[in-house]
Amino acid sequence: MALKATIFKASLQVSDMDRNYYAEHALTLARHPSETDERMMVRVLAFALNAHEHLAFGKGLSDTDEPDLWQKDLTGQVLHWIDVGQPDEKRLIRTSGRAERVTVYAYGRGVDLWWKANAERLERATNLTVWHVPTAASEAVGKPAERAMQLQCTVQDGQVWFSSAMATVQMEMVALQAGPA
C-alpha cells in the first residue's frame, strides 16, 4: 500500500516591502512521503517570496508535468513556474518555453555542483531566474514545520525574515541567474 501525503496547514502573513505586497494566506500543504520538512518549508518560503492571489501549489514531486508552485491566468496559461531544489536542466529548458517566467529556489549542500554542471546550458533560458537559498537558512527554515503553523515573512531591500513561533531566520538569497524582473 502506498503511503499518503501528510497534510499541513499554515497561516502565512506576507509583508513584502520590495514589491509593495501585504496579505495573509491560508495555506494547505500536502507533504509527499519522500519530502523532507526542509523541502516543504522552502516551498512555503518560495510562496511567500512570490505571493500572489493566483499563486498555487502544484503536484511537484508527484507529477513531473507540474511545478512546486505556479501562477496561471484565467485562460490556464502559465505565467510563473516555480521549482525548489535542484531540478533537471532539460526540464527547466522545456518549462521556459511553457511559462512566461520560471524561478528556481535551489537549496541543499550540492547547489554549487548542480549550478556548475548546468549554468552554461541554462543561460539559454532568458526567462529563468535561479536563486540559491543558503544552506544554513534552508535548514533553519525547515525546523519549525508543524501540522498547524503561524508564519510571517518580511522582505525589505533584498533581506528576508521568515518567522514562526519557534524562531526567526534572516537570509539574503544569492542570485545565480537573473531572469526578467
Q: pLDDT of 63-99, one tens digit each?
A: 667 899 999 999 989 999 999 999 999 999 999 998 9
**Spatial separation of the C-alpha atoms in residues 113 and 96, rounded to whole Å:** 22
- Decide: helix, strand or coil at residue 87: coil
Taking CA 56 as the corner, what is the angle to CA 50 and CA 58, rounded to the nearest 5 degrees?
Answer: 115
Report angle CA 50, 52, 58 to the nearest 5 degrees: 75
Tell me the three cell numbers of residue 32: 509527499
Mean pLDDT estimate for the chain: 91
Domains along the chain?
6-177 (3.10.640.10)
What percent of the chain clears pLDDT 70, i.e. is strictly above it? 96
Percentage of the chain modeled with pLDDT above 90: 75
Average pLDDT over residues 19-44: 92
Dihedrals φ, ψ of 92, to 5°? -65, -40
What mean pLDDT comes out for the span 138-157?
A: 91
Rounded to an integer, the average pLDDT of 48-65 is 83
| Confidence band for 177, pLDDT divided at 50, 70 and 90 | very high
Q: Give the pTM.
A: 0.93
